Amino acid sequence: MELHILEHSLKVASIEKEGIQICTHGLMKLAFLASKTRCKFFSLTETPEDYTIIVDEEGFKELPQSDLISVADATWLALNVVSGGGNASSSQPIGVTKIAKSVIAPLADHNISVFMLSTYQTDFILVRERDLPMVMHTLSSEFTLLRVVNGETVAAHDLGVTNGFVKPKLVPRPIIHPLSSPSNMFCVTSLDPDTLPSVATLLMDVMFYSGGSKELGTSSEDSSHIRFFSFSLIEGYISLVMDEQTAQRFPNNVLFTSASGELWKMVRIGGQPLGFDECGIVAQISEPLATADIPAYYISTFKFDHALVRERTNINVIIPKIQQFLDECVSCFQTRS
Amino acid sequence: MSGSKPDILWSPHHPDRYVICDSELGLYRIGPVGGTETKPGTLPLSEETAATLLAINSDTPYMKCVAWYPKHEPECLLAVGQANGRVVLTSLGQSHNSTCKELVGKEFVPKHARQCNTLAWNPVDNNLLAAGLDKHRADFSVLIWDISSKFAPETSVAAEKIRISTVDLDSSMVVTKPLYELGQNDACLSLCWLFRDPKLLLAGMHRNLAIFDLRNTSQKMFVNTKAIQGVTVDPHFHDRVASFFEGQVAIWDLRKFEKPVLTLTEQSKPLTKVAWCPTRTGLLATLTRDSNVIRLYDMQHTPTPIGDETEPTIIERSVQPCESQIGSFAWHPSSQNRMVVVSATNRVMTDFTVFERISLAWSSTTSLMWACGRHLYDCAEDSAEGAESTVEKDIATKMRERAQSRYGHDTLQVWRNHLLAGGNDPQLKSLWYDLSYILYVSHMKQCAEDMELKLQGNKQSLVYSGIKNIIRTSSGTTESRRCWIGSDRQTDVPRFSSEERCLALRLCGWISRGPDIDVETFLRSLEQEREWERAAAIALFNLDIRRAIQILNKGATMEKGDLNLNVVAMALSGYTDEKSSLWREMCSSLRLQLKNPYLCIMFAFLTSEPGAYDGVLYESSVAVRDRVAFACMFLSDAQLPHYIDKLTNEMKEAGNLEGILLTGLTKDGVDLMESFVDRTGDVQTASFCTLKGSPGEVLKDPRVQCWIENYRNLLDAWRFWHKRAEFDILRGKLDPSSKPLAQVFVSCNFCGKSISYSCSAMPHQGRGFSQYGVSGSPTKSKVTSCPGCRKPLPRCALCLMNMGTPVSSCSGPGKSDEKVDLTRENKLSQFNNWFTWCHNCRHGGHAGHMLSWFRDHTECPVSACTCKCMQLDTTGNLVPADSS
């Protein structure tokens, strides 16, 4: 397994709902006119609370300064797991599940806070730049560490930060944030960048005018409906996460769908904004899912985290499973101590 | 896919068909322009060719890439990769073949939709079609489909299928299970099957090039690189692969896959297509965006004698097939260096053949060869010997022939050299006669046998300095008026004579010796050579009109003689010195119509006033020596130097070798020779001539040294090494300063002294060999030990004998004079016994042994030494062209 440390220096920001107007120019440029900027990594996720932006430093310059925009003060680096040369044919678990045990759990064990972004193409694990030596140290046993420099992949060397950091004791993850599951279904999809101009107006409408009265009228009838839309354009690849109703607004054959055409159910994590310092939140969710071999997407936003699991998966099965796992951990911890 | 760039594919089997794909597929047939009337629907592609649209297929929207089925049947089957990752088989034109019907319309659908970037048919197993797709988190990016596979519905998938797609498809035509899935969680941007094994697939993945082996799909060979687009294998060199990234092309060698063997100079705009020429080795064409030129890179491995790692030489050039910007191009599969180019917009097509670079080589033997494409042209000089060839031979050919006939080497009869030169160049004839007279006269003087010439020693150099200087020193000129010989009629022609003028006449060849001007011997020799007119003129100038008439008569009556000479003789006999006679009047006007210049000047002489002989002196077709001799006889001291100076300058300017008579071999002579060399390039004559007689100062002239060196180089280039050696020997005799010092010494391994040097210096050599057990008769014995320290000399690697020099002929000290005369018998040692050794491995032995060893071997004769000694010597395998 290879762990690629990508060269993007990322900023995570939140734009308040009423602040979106002042940012639309920059966001549209980043989303639809990628050739006019030097931005290589851009993600916009709308939740009921805010818009979360993940963007590299080049792209960050396109955004205005405003009180309505809050920026997480750290610089983040994206990690990407590539299966490398190994076993190609075996059917592997999809997405976050695959990396839960190998990446997410060890990082959580070392108190490294992570920020997840799953896309149609891959999963990005964002870590703070300052945590990188520790990340590399933690993961070097499991992975071939490679760093992308000027587009070329080169071997990264463990910086050897063992001094002062003894292997932390395995802390069970005692805090469980409240989980909720909205009723609408989501699809994770993509489209051909060449066809982007033809759906640009539609995308703009979805991205920036979701609060419009027409939309509100239809969606408000079901209170458990959640407004969630994610657009990312990373290294030329477009990924979209939207609910079933929004997807139906797109013309035929524009969106890439899986052959199975499956839909995904969302699990929202957190009742209060989660902040950036707490560790192990992703691990709390992904570990039990991995144990149960349930494929999942995971998208962190500025305030809350979102996991997507297959529609067929009974959400009520998962939550107890997570609960059960945690209980086990707690009891295990208790018995040890 | 409107607005996306067009592409061209040539039919794998029909050399006249190709497909253009942009928003739709168009099949064209290319053919010659049919006469004057153009059929409707044909598009001119070039001056000779036009294309006809055969079929259009617009069934497949969202085309991203197309690949032509490589099998003969069905011939027009295309695989189209779409934006959603589906691969559709479609066809162009009608084909009623049943296999075609089965295949056309078949779709290959990946699990997760994403763009299909590239398609590649397996060149051997034609049922295998590799598709390269964009990245998906849970899917593979390289899918290999088996187009012959029947749809085998898996129950689980079948249930889901109902939902999939918007287009209602006949499910029997949809295949969802690829034969192989490779490259998980990665993107594939380009693909090609490797020729060296049809189970190997080279893929340009997201950040690396990977080689997948279908026999073991869990393993791959890969290299991290940015250059992952457009991977393509050189059809002529199956280990060579090109790929690109933005503006840079990387060339890879699959045998050394760690890094590109070379990268081509980066272009400012991103590349769109890179393709090896299928009909020409090592020719790579590249196209960048928004460009109207195609750049060509000609990569040729130049063999080097030493197997060093040398980068191939790359010759880069651009061709511009059409005015507009190029959308794409495709090499013709079989027609040499031909391609079809389609413009970026409006589908304007051009049929274009890249003109091959011409490589040209001029051999040292004047034959010229050039190669263009697959043609080799040889241009040799017309070797029509003997016959009057209309074109004069090139000077290099002449020099080569002359070198072979030992031109310049006749030092005894110097004049004969012009015969060695072919004997048909009047200037060379004049030159060598001049030189022979000069040398003869100077020899005479040096021997001081000729007591009649009481010239002082300090005047000797005058001979070399030519008539110009001789005349200048002239003094004591006497004027005389003499009678016509055989008649008592007094002439009013004054004749001048002095010692110097006499010497000049000798140099001109008119008289041989003595103060008396007696030209009879000369006239006789001219008669022998059947130069009647010249002889008659000279007789006349010596006031012997009767002899002149007699000569003309003789000329007329000889076999094949010209009867007109009799007429001239008749005219001559009517000579009268009456100023206003009819004879005089007619002669002076009609003489100009005479073709022979000597006949012409005879009448000019007879009809001109005394002292005003311009008709004679400036008749340029008369040999310079005759005119100068004439001037020496009939021009006064005032007129003569003026005329000589004028003539000298004329000769110098024209580079006329006859002028050497005037200038001699002096600085002036070198000037003259310089303009001769400038005009003709004949460094051979210049070298020999300046060597021949000229004093040291002339030889020191850098021009002279330059000619000599160039002539030596020429001889080397012709591999006339023996001739060059002869020339060097001759040069060494005439110019002792040019003798090279000994450059190579064999020194003893133990004491470091030169063995040959100490050989002659050692006083007690007898003890030397007897002590070291060289038995047998002394004549056969050799010095096999260092004469300095008495340690044995190295052994020959082949015969294992100690090397050494035969002592028998080794002359004792003090007799070194004899060594100068190294004829074959007197040589210290035969070449076969010479010391030779390799400068690389330092093994060696007798030259003869080594030569015979390397005739059959490449490696050093010393066991366990793998040095390829002979191959290190680039000239070692050449043979002299003049094996004399």
pLDDT along chain B (884 residues), means of 10: 70 88 88 69 83 86 88 84 88 70 84 89 91 86 86 45 44 80 86 90 89 85 88 91 92 89 87 91 90 88 53 81 89 90 87 85 81 82 57 81 87 83 82 81 58 42 70 75 66 77 82 68 84 86 84 83 80 75 80 83 82 83 87 86 90 89 85 91 89 72 90 90 89 80 78 65 42 43 73 85 63 41 54 83 88 86 85 73 66
Q: What is the pLDDT of residue B130?
A: 94
C-beta separation of A107 from A138 below 8 A:
yes
C-beta separation of A40 from A233 below 8 A:
no
Task: Give the separation between CA A57 and CA A30, rounded to whole angstroms.
Answer: 12
If we measure between CA atoms, which residue out of B134, B164, B140 comes closest to residue B212? B140
Q: How far is residue B428 from each of residues B439, B455, B704, measured CA to CA in Å?
A: 16, 30, 18
Q: What is the pLDDT of residue B276?
A: 93
Q: How far is residue B233 from each of residues A209, B266, B274, B536, B642, measured CA to CA in Å?
A: 51, 20, 11, 85, 81
β partners of residue B802: B795
C-beta separation of B780 from B802 below 8 A:
no
Run of H or E including A54? strand A50-56
Examine the predicted complex and report whether its ipTM is higher than 0.90: no
Task: Give the separation between CA B247 and CA B268, rounded to whole angstroms.
Answer: 6
Task: Give the separation between CA B173 and CA B454, rounded to whole angstroms.
Answer: 121
The pair of structure tokens assigned to B299 is 């990569």
- Indicate if the pLDDT at residue A329 is higher than 60: no
Pairing of strands B326-331, B42-44: unpaired
Task: Give the separation between CA A292 and CA A322, rounded to whole angstroms.
Answer: 10
Residue A83's region, left for phi above 0, alpha for psi from -120 to 50, else beta, is alpha
What is the C-alpha radius of gyration for chain A, rounded to an integer number of angstroms? Answer: 20
* CA-based end-to-end distance of chain B: 78
Higher pLDDT, B653 or A293: B653
Q: Which residues in A lie closer than 8 A to residue B159 (C-beta atoms)?
A: none
Put simply, the answer to whether A89 touches B181 (Cβ < 8 Å) is yes
Put simply, the answer to whether A295 touches B138 (Cβ < 8 Å) is yes
Q: What is the dihedral of CA B384, B386, B388, B391, to 10 degrees?
A: 50
Put simply, the answer to whether A259 touches B161 (Cβ < 8 Å) is yes
Residue among A35, A91, A145, A253 with most chain B CBs within 10 A, to mutate? A253
Dihedral of CA A18/A22/A23/A29: which sign?
Answer: positive
Q: How far is residue B735 from each of residues B433, B441, B464, B657, measured CA to CA in Å?
A: 22, 21, 16, 22
Q: How far is B223 from chain A (nearest CA, A)?
A: 9
> What angle (nearest 5°) sits at the alpha carbon of residue B84, between those of residues B82 and B87?
45
Put simply, the answer to whether B224 touches A146 (Cβ < 8 Å) is yes
Give residue A279's identity as a one-letter amino acid code.
Answer: C
Q: What is the pLDDT of residue A251?
A: 86
Per-residue pLDDT of A110-134, as tens digits, reads 888 888 898 888 889 999 998 888 8
Q: Which residues in A lie closer than 8 A to residue B228 (C-beta atoms)?
A: none
With a CB cutoff of 8 Å and minimum separation 6, the contacts of B414 are B432, B435, B436, B439, B692
The reply to whether omega before B74 is within 30° of 0 (cis) is yes
Task: Count the alpha carbons within 13 Å of B430 in the hemisphere toward its beta carbon.
Answer: 18
Q: What is the pLDDT of residue A169?
A: 54
Looking up tokens 């995904």 gives A264
Q: What is the pLDDT of residue B454?
A: 42
Q: What is the pLDDT of residue A327?
A: 62
The pair of structure tokens assigned to B811 is 């002359």
Task: Give the separation between CA B53 and CA B43, rounded to whole angstroms.
Answer: 8
Q: What is the pLDDT of residue B378?
A: 86
Task: Give the separation between CA B132 and CA B120, rounded to whole angstroms.
Answer: 9
- Indicate if the pLDDT at residue A165 is higher than 60: no
Q: Is A157 exposed, middle or buried (0-12, 13-18, 19+ CB in 10 A)?
A: exposed
If we measure between CA atoms, which residue out of A59, A60, A77, A75 comes closest to residue A7? A77
Residue B867, phi then psi, degrees to nearest 5: -65, 130
Q: What is the pLDDT of residue B160?
A: 42
If you average pLDDT over residues A321-325, what whole number do you get?
64
Q: How many helices (H) and strands (E) does chain B have?
A: 26, 38
What are the strands, taking DSSP E only, across B451-575? 478-483, 490-497
Q: How far is A230 from chain B (nearest CA, A)?
A: 16
Residue B866's region, left for phi above 0, alpha for psi from -120 to 50, else beta, is alpha
Residue B124 DSSP symbol:
S
Helix axes B426-447, B460-472, angle to 10 degrees: 120
With a CB cutoff of 8 Å and minimum separation 6, the contacts of A109 are A138, A168, A170, A171
If you write DSSP's letter for every residue of A140-156 in order, what string do you get? TTTSEEEEEETTEEEE-
The pair of structure tokens assigned to A176 is 């469980």
With a CB cutoff of 8 Å and minimum separation 6, the contacts of A11 are A53, A54, A55, A56, A57, A60, A71, A72, A75, A76
Task: Give the separation between CA A282 and CA A304, rounded to whole angstroms.
Answer: 11
Q: What is the dihedral of CA A240, A245, A246, A247, to 10 degrees?
A: 50
Q: How far is A191 from chain B (nearest CA, A)?
A: 7
- Listed by start position, the domains of chain B span 239-355, 475-636, 760-877
Residue among B112, B162, B218 with most chain A CBs within 10 A, to mutate? B112
Hey, how many other C-beta atoms are within 10 angstroms of the C-beta on B154? 11
Put simply, the answer to whether A153 touches B207 (Cβ < 8 Å) is yes
Looking up tokens 């460094």 gives B683
* CA-based end-to-end distance of chain A: 35
Q: What is the pLDDT of residue B168?
A: 43
What is the C-alpha radius of gyration for chain B, rounded to an integer number of angstroms? Answer: 44
> pTM for the whole thing?
0.65
Put simply, the answer to whether B113 touches A118 (Cβ < 8 Å) is no
pLDDT band of A172, cuts 50, 70, 90 = low
Q: How many CB pairs under 8 A join A and B?
A: 110
The pair of structure tokens assigned to B785 is 């030990």
When CB atoms are compared, the residue of B112, B187, B226 closest to A258 is B112
If you average pLDDT over residues A88-105, what whole number do you get?
66
Task: Give the separation between CA B101 and CA B108, rounded to whole angstroms.
Answer: 16
Task: Give the separation between CA B141 and CA B327, rounded to whole angstroms.
Answer: 27
pLDDT band of A67, cuts 50, 70, 90 = confident
Looking up tokens 């010596």 gives B542
Task: Give the separation between CA B609 and CA B200, rounded to whole angstroms.
Answer: 103
Question: In what order do the strands lie in the sheet containing B338-343?
Answer: B326-331, B338-343, B349-353
Q: Is B879 exposed, middle or buried (0-12, 13-18, 19+ CB in 10 A)?
A: exposed
Put simply, the answer to whether B183 touches A88 (Cβ < 8 Å) is yes
Higher pLDDT, B581 or A93: B581
Q: Which residues in A lie closer than 8 A to residue B226 (C-beta atoms)?
A: 150-152
If we measure between CA atoms, which residue out of B112, B113, B173 comes closest to residue B147? B173
pLDDT band of A230, cuts 50, 70, 90 = very high
With a CB cutoff of 8 Å and minimum separation 6, the contacts of B363 are B369
C-beta separation of A139 from A145 below 8 A:
yes
The architecture CATH gives domain B239-355: 7 Propeller (2.130)
Dihedral of CA B601/B604/B609/B615: which sign?
Answer: negative
Residue B847's region, left for phi above 0, alpha for psi from -120 to 50, else beta, is alpha
Q: Which residues in A lie closer than 8 A to residue B183 (C-beta atoms)?
A: 88
What stretches of chain A show up as alpha helix (H) in DSSP? 20-32, 57-60, 96-99, 105-109, 132-139, 196-208, 213-219, 244-248, 281-291, 315-336
Higher pLDDT, A316 or A307: A307
Point out the least confidently predicted range of A77-81, A135-139, A148-152, B311-315.
Answer: B311-315
Task: Give the separation between CA B110 and CA B117, rounded to whole angstroms.
Answer: 13
If you write DSSP's letter for every residue of A211-270 in order, what string do you get? TSHHHHHHHTTSTT----EEEEEETTEEEEEEEHHHHHTSPTTTEE-BTT---EEEEEE-
Put simply, the answer to whether A154 touches B182 (Cβ < 8 Å) is no
